[in-house]
Amino acid sequence: MENDLFNIKWDNTRVRQMSPLTLAFIGDAVYETFVRTYLVNKYRNMQVHNLHVEAIKFVKAHSQSEIIKKLEKKLSNEELYFFKRGRNAKSATTPKNADVQEYRFATGFEALVGFLYLTGEVDRLNFLFESIIMLKNKGEF
């Protein structure tokens, strides 16, 4: 069914034709959902404001930039391709709370997440998300 968006899987050719900023748009939402779900699971009784404060630590450009720098060596050639497309994309917006390099790396990270999500690479997304949790627990971002 075309409207079954939770079970969508696009082929690589179709995803390669997408703008890297569109991939980042999707990846941002997927990553935000992962972070929020993780935090609600970990801190079941935490107030929403405090959950939001914790989520910011994961999703701000600086954190995403640090995350992708640490995970870059674990990426396949195809994953690196999508990360670099996102990193090198010319955005019409300018970062408010990050420098341009951090913002670009964060955009690349989000494009990678968007690619993995749209192509149905759930196991790979889970691997990356678990790696991110380990990095956070070690205090590496």
Full pLDDT tens readout for the chain, 141 residues: 456 767 777 888 999 999 999 999 999 999 999 999 999 999 999 999 999 999 999 999 999 999 999 999 999 999 999 999 999 998 877 778 889 999 999 999 999 999 999 999 999 999 999 999 999 999 999
- Residue 28 appears among annotated catalytic residues: yes
Alpha carbons 111 and 116: distance in angstroms, whole number: 9
Which entry of 4, 28, 99, 123 is annotated as an active-site residue?
Answer: 28
pLDDT number for residue 26: 97
pLDDT number for residue 5: 66
pLDDT number for residue 2: 59
What's the chain's Rg over C-alpha atoms?
A: 15
Going from the N-terminus, what domains does the chain have, and what CATH number goes with each? 11-137 (1.10.1520.10)
pLDDT number for residue 57: 96
Verdict on whether the full-model pTM lies above 0.85: yes
pLDDT number for residue 112: 98
Task: Determine contact, residues 59/35, Cβ cutoff 8 Å.
Answer: yes
pLDDT number for residue 1: 44
